[in-house]
Every structure is written in C-alpha cells, then in structure tokens.
Amino acid sequence: MLRVTDKLLEVLSEGLGLDRKVLKSHMGDGAVELEMKINMYPPCPQPQLALGVEPHTDMSALTLLVSNDVRGLQLWKDDNWVAVNYLPNAVFVNIGDQMEVLSNGKYKSVLHRSLVNKERLRISWAVFIAPPHEAVIGPLPELVDEQNPAKYSTKTYGEYRHRKFNKIPQ
C-alpha cells in the first residue's frame, strides 16, 4: 500500500509542475497514516428513503476504494449526482481535503455519497491516506505567489480533523 501511495504522490506532484518528492515531503516524508474502513450496506426494500452515507468530502489526502460489483458511489459533478461505474479488480482513487489544501485548490476534494441497493448487499473497502496528526498542512509555498495567493489556512492535520469532526469552520 505504501508503494502505491508513494507513486500516487509522485504523479500528483508532477501534475502540479513540481519535483516528484514534494508532496511526500509535506505529508510527513513517508510517515503517512493509513486508516481502513469497511462499509456494508444491506439490501433496502425502499432505497429512495435511505442513504448509505451522506454527502461529504474525505478529510484525508487520498482515499483508495475497492468495492464489490454493486453500484452505489456517486460524485457531485456539474450540479448533479453522477454514478461511479466500478471496473473489476480496479482501485478508485479519490482526492481528499488535505490534497486540495496542499495544491492550493488545483486538485479538488470530491463531494460524494453512497446509496443503498434494493436487492443486493454492497460492500466497500476504503483506505484513507493522511499526513501524521502533527504534520502542518497548508498550501505548498511553490504554488503561492502574488497572482495565486493562499486560499487555505495552515494548521496541523490533527486540528483540521478536530474542526471537521466537530463541524467547526476551517
């Protein structure tokens, strides 16, 4: 999992026009935290009356998601909910809040939700890739100048988590 994380951080760094090691160094230089969450959504006879997971963005930097073949993940795009089609044996990569902050908004944290299915059990496995709690996260200095001022405040990841969990404005 750490090799996949390193490769993703390298590619995303290069996508910002930066050296491939920049994001990794700002994410704790290899000391990233991995949290796994397994979601199970039983069949629901009236799925229009239930929501698996309410709309949210992930507070991590990246989320790696694997699911069984039952659809349910939706992304908010162009003012509409769009269903995600899963590919067999594929990993879905989601940009989270910390990546949006580090990139000064060049990468966007994705608003998403999860729906239940009328007839089939849906299971998903999510691995959240985050900086250590004490890591100070803010827009990368290389991406901030007079034409592109910082769009986000700088704080520790632990403080960010506390504020998000308690619905305190960032």
- Domain boundaries of the chain, sorted by first residue: 32-165
User: Catalytic: which of 24, 26, 97, 112?
Assistant: 112
**Superfamily assignment of 32-165 in CATH?**
B-lactam Antibiotic, Isopenicillin N Synthase; Chain (2.60.120.330)
Sign of CA pseudo-dihedral 98, 78, 126, 16: negative
Structure tokens at 26: 């700002």
Instruction: Assign 92 a pLDDT band (cuts: 50, 70, 90).
Output: very high
- Give the per-residue pLDDT at 38: 96
Q: What is the pLDDT of residues 25-81, one digit of tens each?
A: 998 877 899 999 999 999 999 888 887 889 999 999 999 999 998 889 999 999 999
- Give the per-residue pLDDT at 69: 87
Please report, for the chain, how many H helices and E strands are present, in that order: 4, 10
Catalytic residue at 58? Answer: yes
User: Catalytic: which of 6, 56, 106, 151?
Assistant: 56
- Give the per-residue pLDDT at 141: 96
Answer yes or no: is pLDDT of 106 > 90: yes
Q: Give the DSSP H or E segment for 101.
A: helix 97-102
User: Catalytic: which of 7, 19, 29, 37?
Assistant: 37
Report if pTM > 0.95: no
Answer yes or no: is pLDDT of 21 > 90: yes
Q: How far apart are CA 169 and CA 121, in angstroms?
A: 36
Q: Give the DSSP H or E segment for 158.
A: helix 157-165
Q: How far apart are CA 43 and CA 23, in angstroms?
A: 40
Catalytic residue at 37? Answer: yes
Catalytic residue at 112? Answer: yes
Mean pLDDT in the chain? 94
